[in-house]
Amino acid sequence: MNVNKLAYVKEAKYLGVIICNDLKDDGDILRHLRNCYARSNSIIRKCHHCSVGVKLRLFHAYCCTTYCCQLWVNFNKGSYLKAKVAYNNMHRRILGYNRRDSASSMFANNAIDTFDALLRKNIYGLKKRIFNTNNDLIRVMYNCFEIVNGPMWISWANSLYTVNM
């Protein structure tokens, strides 16, 4: 800018979200992964003596928070699978399940959303808030052809809706 050279970085953190120069979301998914492991280890260390009900509440409050996951559109499947496996492993470790126990039955028995269901709920909640807003600028944006046919909206549609053939 003017006379000063701007530093070029591969990634930057803005409002807690990691934005990469290649526009991939892998960096932010890995940030989420590290935060979740840190939170779950803290729960295990500090609350190992608590009842299952308390542990479930703590898991829901601290490990089911996926800040800005609705914006994850451009990522490698490996990063996504790591986050999904971490979510399952955290649940197992906090509640004392065996590694070989079924993840789906574990979530069903404890009435906890799976990782995919959690992401779908977050996407649906954001989409609902966008459609119900009174902000004229946001209304113009979601009525724009380029936005509605863009990668984020297509990803949302693929996550929320299935096509029966």
The string of pLDDT tens digits covering residues 113-155 is 888 888 889 889 888 888 888 998 888 887 777 777 788 888 8
The answer to whether 12 touches 18, Cβ cutoff 8 Å, is yes
Measure the CA–CA gap between 158 and 148, rounded to whole angstroms. Answer: 13
| pLDDT: which is higher, 51 or 148 | 51
Element (H, E) at 111: none
State residue 126 phi and psi, 5-degree precision.
-65, -45
Whether 163 shows a pLDDT value over 60: the answer reads no
* pLDDT, position 145: 72
* Nearest one of 9, 5, 7, 6 to 21, comparing CA atoms: 9
pLDDT at 165: 47
Q: Count of CB atoms within 10 A of residue 66's CB?
A: 19
Whole-number Å distance between alpha carbons of 123 and 103: 22
Q: Residue 110: pLDDT band by 50, 70, 90 thresholds? A: confident
Mean pLDDT of the chain: 85
Amino acid identity, position 133: T
Ranges of each domain in the chain: 11-117
